[in-house]
Structures are given as C-alpha cells and as structure tokens.
Amino acid sequence: MEWETVIGLEIHAQLSTNTKIFSGASTAFGAEPNTQACAVDLALPGTLPVFNENALRMAVMFGLAVNAEIGKRSVFDRKNYFYPDLPKGYQTTQLAEPIVGPGYIDIELDDGTTRRVRIHHAHLEEDAGKSLHEDFHGMSGIDLNRAGTPLVEIVSEPDMRTAKEASAYARKIHAIITTLGICDGNMAEGSMRCDCNVSVRPKGQEALGTRTELKNINSFRFIERAIETEVARQIDLIEDGGRVIQETRLYDPERNETRSMRSKEEANDYRYFPCPDLLPVIIDDTYIEQIRAELPELPDARKARFVSEFGLSEYDAAVLSAYHAQADYFEQVTRVAGDAKQAANWVMGELAKNLNQKDLDIKESPVSADQLGGLIARIKDDTITGKIAKQVFEIMWAEGGSADEIIEAKGLRQVTDTGAIEAIVDQVITECTTQVDQYKAAEPDKRGKMLGFFMGQIMKASQGKANPGQVQGLLKQKLDALCD
Amino acid sequence: MFDLTLAELAKGLQKREFSSAELTQAYLNRIHDKDSLYNSYISVCDEQALQQAAAADARIAQGDAGPFTGLPIAHKDLFCTKGIKTSCGSRMLDNFISPYDATLVSRFNEAGAVTLGKTNMDEFAMGSSTENSYYGPSRNPWDTERVPGGSSGGSAVAVSARLAPATTGSDTGGSIRQPAALCGITGIKPTYGRVSRYGMVAYASSLDQAGPMTRTAEDAAMMLQVMAGADPLDSTCAEQPVPDYMAGLNTPLAGLKIGLPKEFFAEELDPAIAEQVQNAIREYEKLGASVQEISLPNTRLSIPAYYILAPAEASSNLSRFDGVRYGYRCTDPKDLEDLYKRSRGEGFGSEVQRRILVGTYALSEGYYDAYYRKAQQIRRLIQQDYINALQQVDVIMGPTTPHPAFRIGEKSNDPVSMYMEDIFTLSLNLAGLPGMSIPCGQTAGLPVGLQIIGNYFAEAKLLNVAHQFQLATDWHKQTPAGI
C-alpha cells in the first residue's frame, strides 16, 4: 500500500527579552544554577506575575511576519500539572484567546516549487526550569534560571507531507524569528525547540491517522531523521496488523529511534482556566500598525531583492537570505567588494567551508565582512589572482589583518609588469624544449589545449603572482612565433 | 491606654504623652500576659517591634513623623513579612520565613508602623471560625467558648481583646466582615483591586482583598489610607487615585438613600439579629437617611457559585506547596509521587484538602462548563444585581451574618452549615464591591454586625456612613467582660 505522511509542528521559540515574561529576573543563558530566579520565579507564597510588554511586542512582530491575525484581546490561562521544575504547579500560557491567530508561510521545496504551510495560532507562555538528574548522588537538582523565560509557541496546521518539508518549514520559521531579532535561534541551547506531530494514512484517504508527538528535537537534521524513523515505525506497525496509539515519543538521535514517553491515557488533565492574576491583554490597531511599520525586511522579501538587485540565482538568494546574520554579512561584503556574485561565491564557498569546519556561527567568523569585501576588491582590481586570494583568506582567517596588509607583507601582489612576465615566459620556453617541440609538431587546432602545461609552469615560477591573462597572451604570441 | 483608638494613640504620640517604645512594650506585655486565653497571635515579634518603635520615636523626635509613625499593629499571618514566619495558619508553612515583605507590609513599615506580631487564621484563609488553624482555634473575647469567626479570627480577637489597636485582615468571602461582626469590631473589605495583593498568600485570586480591622471607622480610614493604592507588582491592583479617607468622615448623612435587600432578611436570619439591624436602620433614619426595600434576586446562588470559583482558584494557587522548594516536606519520600502526596497530605489540613479536591473536580475536563463556566455566569448575574440596586440607592445595608458567634466545635463537622454563615458576605466578593461591618447591637451578650455595602471605590462613603453612626451610638465602644 502507498502511504502518505501528515506532519504538523509545534515550535517553541525563546523570546530575546532581557527579563522574564512575568518577573524582572534576567534571562541570560548559562548563569550559575538558580542565580537568575527571583521570588516570582521561585513561586514564593504571595508573589504575583506582571506581564513583560516586550514579550507582547515580539509576539505581535512574529504574527505580522507570518501574515496572521493579531489577537486584540488575548488571555493568559493556567495549565495545571505537578513537576519539580514547574515552581507554581501550573504553567501560565494562552489557550482560547492567543495573541497570534491563523496565518501562513510559504516554504521552498527542492524541486523549486513552494508549499504554503498554515499556522493555526501562536501563543505566549513561560518556560519551565530544568531538572538535573546527574551529579546529585541519587537526588535530582532543580535549576530555575530558565523558569519564566518567555516563549512563543508556534503551532502549524498538519500541512506538511514529508520530513524535508517539515525541516524546510522549521528553517523558515528560524529565518523569520532570527531576522525579526525576537529569538537568537540557538537550537543547541534550546532557544528554539521543535515537537513534531506525525501520522500516516493510506494515500487518498481523507481521515487523518492516529498521530504521535515527537518531543524536543533540537536540530533541523534531527527533525528529518526523527520523522523518517517514526514514519517507518508507524507504517511497519500498521502493515504488521498493529495500531498506532496516540502518545508522546522521545527521539533518541544516538540510536536513531523513537521511544514512548507517555500515552494519552497517562496524560494529565491540565484543568486550564483563565489566570486570575493577569488582566486580559488588550491592544489596538495603532499599536499593531506601529509595530508593522518597524518590521525589518523579512527573508522572502530579502531573497527577492537579492535576485532583482544583485542578479543572484534563486538558489543563491534563498541560501543567503535564510539566515539574517549571513544575509547581513553578504550585503556588507558586497558593499565593500562592489561585486555581489563574487561576494555570494565567497560567503557560500570559502567562508562557509571554514565556518563549518570550526562549527562557528557567521557572527563568530574570524574574518569580518569588511575584511572579506576588501579581499574580493583586490581580486577585482587585479592586485591579486583568485588563487592568491585563497592564500590571503587563509592568512586572514588564522592571523587577521586586512587584504592589503597581508598582500604587502607577504609580497603577494600580482605581477603585471610586462617585462617581468616576459622574462618568466622566455625562461619556461627555453627550459621546456620537449614540450615546445611537441607544440610545434601539433596541428594548429590542437595547440590551444597544450597551452595549459606552459601556463602551469609559468604560474608556478611566478609563485602564482603573474597575471594569468597577460601570461596567456604573451605565451601564445611567443610560441606561435616559434612555429612560423 | 488599651482603650485608646488608633486616632487617639496617634495624638498621644504626637503630643509626646507616651513614646512608641512605651506603647509597644505595653502591648507586648499584654499579649504575653493575656493571649494564652484567646490564641489570637501565631507569632509575637518583641525584638523587631521594639526596634521599629525606637526608630519611630527617633522620627517623632526629629519632627519627621507621619500620621502613622509609632502606631503598633498586627498583620494576619498570610501577609509575607521579611524575616518573620508567615504560616498562613498551616503546618505547610510552619517553617516558612519570608525573604520579602508584602506590599501592604512595606507600606505600613514605611509609614512608621510597629509590627507587634502575626495573627491567627483559618488555614490558608479557608474557614469561618478560625478553627481550621494548625495553631488551634482563636477564642471569642465575648465568650471564650465561642468562635471569633474567620478566617481573620485572630485579627478580630486581637482588636476586640485589646491585644492590638488595629490589625490587617483579608476577605475572600467575608473573612474580614464576619469575624468583625462576631467580635464586635469594625472591618472593611475594600473594592477588589483597591489594596495590593502582592505578598498576600493567595487563596482565591479573583476574590481576595486585604483590609483593616479596627475599633472605629475613623481608625479604619487611617489604616486604609496607608494600604490603598496602585502597585506595579500587582496587575490587578487598581490605578484609581486614593482619596483622603479622613476628609469625608464628617459629611452629614441627610438625604442618604439606604437600600435593604429583602433577600438579606429571609428565614435563615436569626430574629434577634434582624431586630438589632432594624434598630440601626432607624438610627440612620434619625440621621436623615431614607430607606427603601431593594432586591438582589440571585443572592442565594452566591454560595454555590462561590464554592466552585474559590476552590477552583485555590486548587491551582495552592499547587506551589509541593514540598520541593520551601514549606513542609514529608520524611523519606520514596519517589516523586510519594513526595507530593505525603507532603501535601500531611501539610494541609482537612478543609484545605476538601477545597482543593472540590476545585480540582470543578476544573476537570468534561466538568468545566457545568461548574466553573456556570459559576462565572452566576457571578455576572450577582454583579448585575448590585449594579442595578446601586443605581437606586447610595448604600445597601443588612446583617453581616445570619447568627451571632457559635460555639467552638458546633459546626466543624458540618461544612455546609458553616458555609451558610457567609450567605450575606460572599456575594460582595463575587461582585468585587466594598463592604463594611460595624457593631450595631448585641444579642444575649454577643455582638451583632451591620453590613454596609457601597459602589466600586466608594470606601470613603462607607467610612463616612459608619463614622456618623459611631458618633451617634456607642456599640463600637462596648468591651467584652474581663478585658
């Protein structure tokens, strides 16, 4: 039987507010345990939440970026359950009246087509703390630094049909929230986390199959792998006569398998009700329009501009615009270098390769956009050759310095002095008598191909600094003269 | 000295007739001497009180004193007090020393008040008799075999037995007004949002409101002046400006329109109470007020609505008491579930557990619409009843309670009959309106309370109406025998 996969995603994004959603404690990552938890975060008796308006602003920004209706009245609810890292015994979240209503984004598929993924809603809520089960001699430790960090939970409709579509959707959401600057997008630190709802159904069937929820997947690659693994498990199960049960499953990337966490029967009754400590959040059109006016250029618009303004290919434009820091970097390189195509090649090629090897974000790149732009400018004005440029880049990466400084210090300037080039050409022709004889013996139309050998020798002799155009011209002229 | 009101004590301090240290020491001595009879205090703060008194005396000497500087008061033990145990009358918080002050406590501290101690209460403010305290029941000074009412019973007893000139209380369904009535003192529950709830341990967040418990309306005005006002730490606290409560006390009552809800004089009302309340109404007529009958048709629904909504909120509010971070933790839990079950099972008393169970049930999937949502609808009907009535009259009056103080143990095994004692007070919390109870008579040697209800943020009017009655009568000056 042919199966169709149906996928919906719930993405939790930590908002980049300085303080927590309902308290004045700092949200910075990595502090000593429990040093960023105030009385409100510890849920001391008598404490009350006060809503951080910055979180509201960021949620509205997100809503506008995904073409969504903005809830002019939104209400916080309590989701009640007991867990040691949930200090109040309830999570303050939004259920019936979220801040962001239905919206959508378009994702690009590998075949060049786009698919629209609808967003059911997005709501604001507070993060829980962390339970630490190691290093406590059989006890558990609780770190409440994260408790109360603002989250926006983005709930998609079940509009995705392949694991690739799911990861493309997640990447797009990542691009949007990082471009908006409302989330740092750091998946390893848990700033963006993803739950995948996955079900399968016989192709052509309208009714959805029973879904499972895969929890807390923290990379795009794992999204794809977790879904593929789970889909295979579900299909095997059904084809063997079994039945998928609705449950929460955990993806184990080391074993590449999903494991049951809890079934629906074990699920909590969360006893949602409106939080009486917080007033409904009421906003008006003026507030919304003010935020809309201040929105930065979003990834889709930026991609289109990269094509129209810089003449990049759709593919290059899509890659460069997917991550705002990379797009910013690229634009700055272009500005300095005065050549967008070269800039794109370098950012997506040499720079990306080096960043990947060192597992660095582009924001941590040892080579700045200005440095790289300066380097490309020197290629363009023929100060150095493309080959030498790679050497300069490596020095820049390892030791720093501007292209000009490195070129000067290492004497890498391209040789364009005709006399100097001529001397090298003459020297090579004199030394390579065998090859010159072969050249002379060859049919005139085969000779062009034989120039490569001489070019290589000459460039080697010039340590790569000779201007290849000039070399080629002189070389051909001199060899052809020998043939006459 | 113990018969002086707050206002009189303030004058005495300002005229240097006595120092705050002397006054404070005298009250502390009296508490240590007498409170074993009444059990009105859970904690007495001798050392801190005397330090505060010394600081107040220094301020007075420097001419830097405000109207409240040096006045000793006591706080209900659900207001968080830095460095002092805040137990909420519960074993759960018997070991809890708050690291911060409630907003209300800070305001009194900044005004120069002296904290004598923390008063007894029904556990987590759930009860109408103070019998649900982990620290044992408080006793009514008018008859120590009887309850003082609750949940702010300790605060009412302390004022009535002259163990504090004034106290703070909290009122979720009558917890200031009912004990004030039963102990013969003055108490006001302000409009919801008039006083910050920050640092007041929550019972039912949408109903809880702090207020003063005093001997006179004038004292209540002095207290409320300190307590009331917006608080950036409490989003539900009103931005409404705070008027000068003392300024309006002496406005004559000629032309005042009083409404008497017929539902407040129904069959469950003790005839002796009805008689005392009618006498008080006649006194108001003498002061120039006119009286008309009104109707609050949904009054009877206030008990079932309250006993869904308050427990529902409580079931969530009390989830934080889980034995993990502070408070009572059972010994040797074998796993997480055991930790939760035994810490909460052993830490909470039976009435608290009952309300948590009721509230959990009311919010459960499949029951939410039938209970919680329905109760919210009733709440709006009750609120509308009051809004309609207050378009016809300036204030509404009636009995605070259907009966005078009952015997300790009399209703402890009959929760519904205990809940019925709040029939006249609950609906006000559901509507969010301010209400006051003042002594207006006695029956068989026990005080009777007159309830005065006003419009939103009409505390000044209520205080004025109460003060004028207290100028004309001396029920508020009656003292229990042996005090």
A82 CB near a chain B CB, below 8 Å?
A: yes
Of A212, A233, A214, the closest CA to residue A223 belongs to A214
Mean pLDDT, residues A420-446 taken together:
85
> Which residue in A has a C-alpha nearest to residue B124's C-alpha?
A45
pLDDT beyond 80 at A267? no
Instruction: Map out the domains of chain B as residue ranges.
Output: 6-255, 322-374
C-alpha A161/C-alpha A5 separation (Å) is 5
The C-alpha angle B248, B249, B253, rounded to 5 degrees, equals 90
Minimal CA separation from A142 to chain B, in Å: 9
DSSP B80: -
Whether A14 and A188 have beta carbons less than 8 Å apart is answered as: no
pLDDT tens digits for B200-232?
999 999 999 999 999 999 999 999 999 999 999
pLDDT-based confidence at residue A261 (cuts at 50, 70, 90): confident
Torsion of CA A108, A112, A114, A115, to 10 degrees: -80
Residues 6+ apart with CB under 8 A from A163: A5, A7, A223, A224, A225, A227, A228, A231
Whether B410 has a pLDDT exceeding 80, the answer reads: yes
Mean pLDDT of B151-157: 98
For residue B282, the model assigns a pLDDT of 98
CATH for A418-483 is: 1.10.10.410
Residues B414 and B293 sit within 8 Å (Cβ to Cβ)? no
Minimal Cβ distance to A87: which of B201, B316, B320: B320
Beta-sheet strands, E only, within B296-367: none
- Mean pLDDT computed over A223-231: 96
**Do the beta carbons of residue A367 and residue A397 sit within 8 Å?**
yes
Per-residue pLDDT for A440 more than 90? no
A269: chain B residues, CB-CB within 8 Å: 364-365
DSSP symbol at B386: H
Residues of B in contact with A47 (CB under 8 A): 198-199
User: Quick check: A82 and B96 CB within 8 A?
Assistant: no
For residue B381, pLDDT over 70 is answered with yes
Residue B153 · residue B122 · CB < 8 Å: yes
Shortest Cα distance, chain A CAs vs residue B14, angstroms: 35
User: Which chain A residues have a beta carbon less than 8 Å from that of B325?
Assistant: 42-43, 87, 142
CB pair distance less than 8 Å for B365 and A49: no
Span A224-240, mean pLDDT? 96
Interface subset of A 177-216, CB within 8 angstroms of B: none
Residue A455: how many other CB atoms lie within 10 Å: 16
How much is the mean pLDDT over chain B? Answer: 97
The answer, yes or no, to whether residue A266 has pLDDT greater than 70, is: no
Joined tokens for residue B324: 């993990």
Radius of gyration of chain B (CA): 21
**Residue range B429-471, pLDDT digits in tens:** 999 999 999 999 999 999 999 999 999 999 999 999 999 999 9
Q: Do A269 and B197 touch (CB under 8 A)?
A: no
Q: What is the pLDDT of residues B81-124, one digit of tens each?
A: 999 999 999 999 999 999 999 999 999 999 999 999 999 999 99
Ranges of H-type helices in B370-425: 374-392, 415-420
Q: Strands, E, within B41-183: which ranges?
A: 41-44, 72-76, 114-119, 167-171
Catalytic residue positions of B, numbered: 76, 151, 175
What confidence score (pLDDT) does residue A462 get? 83
Q: Chain B: nearest CA to A302, how far in angstroms? A: 41
Averaged pLDDT for residues A447-474? 84
Interchain proximity A90–B316, CB inside 8 Å: yes
Distances (CA, A) of A171 to A114, A153, A163, A168, A188: 14, 15, 12, 5, 14
Token reading at B416: 């519904």
Longest dimension (CA), chain A: 102
Note the Cα A374 to chain centre separation in Å.
26
Question: Poorest-confidence range of A20-24, A173-177, A382-386, B9-13?
Answer: A382-386
Compare CB distances from B235 to A88, A271, A279 and report the shortest one's residue: A279
CA atoms within 13 A on the CB side of A257: 4
- Nearest one of B170, B167, B145, B172 to B156, comparing CA atoms: B167
Q: Is the pLDDT of residue A135 over 80?
A: no
**A80 — contact with chain B (CB < 8 Å)?**
yes
The SS3 assignment for B181 reads helix
Closest approach of chain B CAs to the CA of A46, in angstroms? 4
Average pLDDT over residues A18-42: 94
Lowest mean pLDDT among A51-65, A207-221, A399-413, B426-440: A399-413
| CA gap B475, B3 in Å, rounded | 14
Question: Residue A89 is nearest to which of B201, B235, B320, comparing CB atoms?
Answer: B320
Assess A138–B contact: CB distance below 8 Å, yes or no.
Answer: no
Q: What is the mean pLDDT of residues B372-381?
A: 97
Number of Cβ within 10 Å of residue B325's Cβ equals 17
pLDDT at B174: 97
Surface-to-core class of residue A107, CB atoms within 10 Å of its CB (0-12 exposed, 13-18 middle, 19+ buried) = buried
Q: Residue A457 in 3-state DSSP? A: helix
Burial B70-107 (b: 16+ CB within 10 A, else e): bbbbbbbbbbbbbebbbbbbbbbbbebebebbbbbbbb
Closest CA of chain A from B197, distance in Å: 7
pLDDT at residue A36 above 90? yes
The number of C-alpha atoms within 13 Å of B81 and in the hemisphere containing its C-beta is 26
Rounded alpha-carbon distances, angstroms, from residue A67 to A118, A324, B146, B148, B393: 10, 19, 66, 61, 52
Confidence of residue A264 (pLDDT cuts 50, 70, 90): low
The answer on pLDDT for B267 being more than 80 is: no
Percent pLDDT > 90 in chain B is 96
What are A70-108's pLDDT values in tens digits? 999 999 999 999 999 999 999 999 999 999 999 999 998
Chain B residues touching chain A at CB-CB below 8 Å: 78-80, 86, 88, 93, 96, 98-100, 102, 197-202, 204-206, 232-236, 312-313, 315-316, 318-322, 324-326, 336, 340, 360, 363-365, 368, 372
| Nearest chain A residue (CA) to B367 | A271
Contact A50 B233 (CB under 8 A): yes
DSSP state of B15: T
The whole-angstrom distance between B423's CA and the closest CA on chain A is: 23
Q: Assign domain B6-255 to its CATH superfamily.
A: Amidase signature (AS) domain (3.90.1300.10)
Query: Which of B100, B235, B312 has its CB closest to that of A273?
Result: B312
Q: Report how far Cα B4 is from the mean position of its chain's Cα atoms.
A: 21
8 Å CB contact between A212 and A184: no
How close A128 gets to chain B, by Cα (Å)?
Answer: 14
DSSP state of A364: G
For residue A65, give the H/E element and its range: helix A53-65
A22 touches chain B (CB under 8 A): no
Q: Is A38 on the interface with B (CB under 8 A)?
A: no
How much is the average pLDDT of A229-233? 96
Tokens 């890292």, located at residue:
A85
Taking CB atoms and an 8 Å cutoff, what residues of chain A touch B202?
Answer: 45-46, 277
Predicted pLDDT at A265: 63
Interface test with B, best of A40, A42, A44, A136 (most B CBs within 10 A): A44
**Are A145 and A33 spatial neighbours (Cβ–Cβ below 8 Å)?**
yes
Question: How does the average pLDDT of chain A come out, rounded?
Answer: 92
For A46, which of B201, B322, B336 is closest by C-beta distance? Answer: B201
Q: Where are the domains of chain A?
A: 3-289, 297-410, 418-483
Asked if the Cβ–Cβ distance from A89 to B316 is below 8 Å, we say yes
CA A405/CA A135 separation, integer angstroms: 51
Torsion angle (degrees, nearest 10) of CA A10, A13, A14, A15: -130
A/B interface, count of CB pairs below 8 Å: 102
Those residues whose C-beta lies under 8 Å from the C-beta of residue A233, and which sit 6 or more positions away, are A257, A258
Cβ atoms of residues B429 and B306 within 8 Å: yes
